[in-house]
Amino acid sequence: MIDRPVGIDLGTTNSAIALLRPEGDDLLLYQDRLRRKTFPSMVGWEPQKEDFITGYEAWNRRVMEPQPVASIKRKMGTQQRVALGPHEMLPEEVSSKILESLVGDMRAFLGDKVDAYQDTHKLEVSRAVVTVPAYFDAPQIEATKRAGELAGLEVLGLLQEPTAAAMYYAWKHGIGDGNFLVYDLGGGTFDVSIIRSLMGEYQVLAIDGDNYLGGDDFDRRLAEMFRKHLVDQGYELDLDVANNDDDRVRFTLLERVAREVKEALTTSEFQYVGRRDLFEDQAGQPVTLDMEVGREEFEELIEDLIDQSIEACERALDQSREQAEIGLSDIDYVLLVGGSTHVPLVQRKVSEALCGGKDGEDGARAERPLIDEPDTCVGLGAAIHAANLSGVTWIEREDDATRRLTLTSPLSTRQSSTHVVGRLEGDLPNGIHSAALIGPGGTVSAVTRVRERTDEDDQTSLDFEFDAVELGDPSRHDFTLDFCDDNGDDLVSFEIFLKRLDAEAPYRPTGSALSNPTVLAKDIYLEVASDGAAERFKLLERGTSLPAERSFQFYTADKSGAVLLRLFQNRYPIRTIHLDVPHDTEVGTPVDLTVKVDESMTMVATGEIRGQTFWAQIEPPPERKMRDWAEIEDLLDAAEEVREKLWGLEAKLYAKKVDSLLAGIRETARTDPDKLQVLVRRLEGELEDYRTRDVELTPAYSRFQTLLNAIKRVVYRGDDSQPLGRTLDDWRAHLSEVEANADAAWRAKDQKAWSQVFDQVQATWESLAQEEYRFTATNTPEYVQRLYLGLSRRIEELKETLDEFALAGNPETAKLQRREIMHIQAELEDNVEEPLYELDPQDNPGELKPKLARLAEILARLEKRVDELPTLGLVRR
């Protein structure tokens, strides 16, 4: 029996499964009796059979109750359960049914179709490489792996879909080294990857995309056009797809017609649509759809969606240009992947935007995109990668013993001799010392010594290598591989074969098993203290090749008794590591941090501070609650409020980011509830950058104004003095500039600029105060009384600031802040307020002044601690 792993494209809309023949010269793609090569990624429940159904069987029930589950891939990595008959299932459990069905069909297909060596070898399917979108992150990847395991598969690896496509194109077209732009537009997702192939190894340089953009959106646009046409005809079709099952069925039937029209328009300019009694409208009237649709009309409906995909390509190219100096002009091949690339407008737009620079414009070296098996090339590429990872394995079962022979070298060659490398493992007898390759008639073709190897689980295997095995004419050559003792007696034997190809056989590069085709999907940040405010410092950049490890050194910024390492994925918090440290830990104490990410995007943080080590697995962001329409309307209002406050270039940038989201939200509110929630979350993320501008900067504006007023009182008192050597006109100009800079920094919420202005004002006041102290009589009763009243006012201001302080949303930070506020309040009362009010401002000025000075020093330290509350526990760079 031969165990050959398969490649599976687990798609949002359709799925496919393939296998690279053991000889490595051809790919076997599963197709059903109707020669269909892709199968709907749907799972349903058949009430009569009381069993699950998948693929086209589920597809045919999509307007019946219970409706099948579709596009479950969009929910992978979440805890959202879906109903399937009597079952409530997680997304990975639903996906496992799709995988289980594909593998079962593939096993039957191989039994029927692969007859070249069925007399001696049977193909077994128990292992697989499963593809995932390039934009999947850790929970989605883990859920996909879990789905494979639930289906009874050994998941050898998870391969990003664009990389799988590049591997297939290279194999099919004999492409060696080169730079690829893979444009992958499927039914439900869009991915773009910039990939470099060098010496058979594939490296992903950049990724971008949208998990909620695909051909299904084309169908919904067309279906919505049909609905509006029917409303114009007098039918009652104000549909609520999200909340009404009957409306959902009505729109599903319109989508079915739309999909047929879309496919027809790929080859024709016009398509007539005639459907009688399609369904009943909301008034119970039978609906007839009778209209003609032109390709140009359809293209106008979807052009903005394709433009969004082109923008993602440009972002990916910017990233690859920055990280690897690979720009559009360096791209050798633009590959079209996914069923939606059959649409002529997609091909035309990609070609115009990315290929063959004309009239001095930049463009890829390719004159036009390559398109070859766009519906199945991802599954075919996954099959090639699966073969690379594992080679070909023969399995021999005898009594209770199982032995596995794996050849990691190719079984096919165009040369007259070949190199054979392999490994024997399992339940092995003692005394094996050599391996012999026996040809027809018992001739010995090659002999070699075996090398024993013990893995970390104390399992023993035997490695062997034949330098040159002679092959005759181009054909298949059968051998017996004997493993022998010192006397030459065979203890274990396997029947194997090698194949010599014709000299004209095409070159089929399969890539290297050492390829590192996985990259980080999203940026990882650490929140740090900077200029008195919190900011995010990038630890790992999106597009980083995995596995990856980065080490950093930060420094404590306060003596709060704790260190908070708050990690973000993009702008969403994913983990806060809370470390208690001694309160006497000096500011500036080093904090070592190492972040590791493996191929499955599992992230771990380790580090040390003052000999205290820590380890933490970094979890993905928690799922956010679904927004109801009232909340969404509030968000739309907030978006317009932000727009009204912007002008010029910033307003244009805002519109570019937000307008398509606003349009998408209004569109999907009627047609696609799942995508609606995703677009709402994206809009929330964009608005966050503008909403945070309402957060107070530190120090507070009132403190700046207090210092500035104190400076003005000294400068403008009219005694003809020249404080700090400046004339009155100089001071007016200087203070006017300071106020202008302060106002600009405050309006822009620019913490760095604000800190610089505040420091400048504080330094000016301190210099003035020192000069005043030298030339002013400070022991007069009036002066001391002013000090007393000034301290009283500052105490009340500080108490008010503490009472109104807004705690952080993060629980660990809020806990630290709450504790620090209690300490400050207690110290303020015990060490400043009560001692001050025990003093009599009418006492001897000479005795009272030093006491007030000591209280002022304590108060200044407390004010500084209040300024540090927003960044409490954070480290600094």
Spell out the residues 6+ positions from residue 871 whose beta carbon is closer than 8 angstroms to its own.
Answer: 529, 532, 533, 534, 557, 558
Contact 194, 316 (CB under 8 A): yes
Angle between helices 629-645 and 673-691 (to 10 degrees): 40
Token duo for residue 247: 């409306």
Question: Per-residue pLDDT tens for 368-393?
Answer: 999 999 999 999 999 999 998 888 99
β-bridge mates for residue 496, sequence order: 479
Q: Which of 329, 235, 365 is nearest to 289 (CA)?
A: 235
What per-residue confidence (pLDDT) applies to 694?
Answer: 44
Letter for the amino acid at 664? Answer: G
Map residue 12 onto helix, strand or coil. coil
Token duo for residue 455: 């893995």
Question: 476-484 and 490-500 as β-strands: parallel, antiparallel, unpaired?
Answer: antiparallel
The rounded distance, in Å, linking the Cα atoms of 380 and 804 is: 62
Q: Which residue has the tokens 């073969």?
A: 387
SS3 percent helix, strand, coil of the chain, rounded to 5, is 40, 25, 30
CA dihedral 68, 70, 75, 76 (to 10 degrees): 100
Spell out the residues 6+ positions from residue 496 whose beta carbon is closer than 8 angstroms to its own.
Answer: 394, 405, 407, 478, 479, 480, 481
Question: Per-residue pLDDT tens for 230-270?
Answer: 999 999 999 988 888 899 899 999 999 999 999 999 999 99
The rounded distance, in Å, linking the Cα atoms of 183 and 343 is: 13
User: What one-character DSSP code corresponds to residue 455?
Assistant: -
Ordered DSSP codes for 727-796? -HHHHHHHHHHHHHHHHHHHHHT-HHHHHHHHHHHHHHHHHHHHHHHHHS--SSHHHHHHHHHHHHHHHH
Low-confidence residues of the chain, pLDDT below 70? 112-121, 357-361, 507, 509-517, 531-533, 619-624, 647-650, 689-703, 716-721, 771-779, 809-810
Contact 759, 697 (CB under 8 A): no
The rounded distance, in Å, linking the Cα atoms of 46 and 66 is: 8
End-to-end alpha-carbon separation of the chain, Å?
59
The rounded distance, in Å, linking the Cα atoms of 309 and 299 is: 15
CA dist 587 → 399, 562, 755, 819 (Å) = 69, 12, 20, 19
CA dist 740 → 614, 699, 734, 735, 757 (Å) = 47, 17, 10, 8, 10
Residue 490: its H or E element: strand 490-500
**Helical H runs in 126-180?**
138-150, 161-173
Angle between helices 245-264 and 215-232 (to 10 degrees): 110
Question: Per-residue pLDDT tens for 149-185?
Answer: 999 999 998 998 999 999 999 999 888 889 999 999 9
643 φ/ψ angles, rounded to the nearest 5 degrees: -60, -40
**Using DSSP, how many helices (H) and how many strands (E) does the chain show?**
19, 39
User: What one-character DSSP code corresponds to residue 623?
Assistant: P
CA dihedral 635, 637, 638, 641 (to 10 degrees): 170
The rounded distance, in Å, linking the Cα atoms of 356 and 364 is: 5
- Farthest CA pair distance, the chain: 122
β-bridge mates for residue 846, sequence order: none
Among left, alpha and beta (phi > 0; psi -120 to 50; other), residue 835 is: alpha
Q: Which of 358, 271, 323, 816 is nearest to 583 (CA)?
A: 816
User: What one-character DSSP code corresponds to residue 832?
Assistant: I
**Cα torsion 103, 109, 114, 118: sign:** positive
Contact 242, 680 (CB under 8 A): no
Beta strands in 176-215 (DSSP E): 178-185, 190-198, 201-210
Contact 121, 506 (CB under 8 A): no
Token duo for residue 357: 């620079």
3-state secondary structure 249-301: HHHHHHHHHHHHHHHHCCCCCEEEEEECCCCECCCCCECCEEEEEEHHHHHHH
What per-residue confidence (pLDDT) applies to 38?
Answer: 95
Contact 518, 207 (CB under 8 A): no
What per-residue confidence (pLDDT) applies to 619?
Answer: 66
Contact 75, 91 (CB under 8 A): yes
The answer to whether the bond into 547 is cis (omega within 30° of 0) is: yes
Question: Per-residue pLDDT tens for 701-723?
Answer: 666 777 787 787 777 665 566 77
Token duo for residue 472: 């005759």
**Cα torsion 248, 253, 257, 263: sign:** positive
Contact 160, 184 (CB under 8 A): no
161 φ/ψ angles, rounded to the nearest 5 degrees: -60, -45
Contact 258, 223 (CB under 8 A): yes
The answer to whether the bond into 582 is cis (omega within 30° of 0) is: no
Token duo for residue 173: 């077209």
3-state secondary structure 327-370: CHHHCCEEEEECHHHHCHHHHHHHHHHHECCCCCCCCECCCCCE
Spell out the residues 6+ positions from residue 356 whose beta carbon is closer than 8 angstroms to its own.
Answer: 363, 364, 366, 367, 368
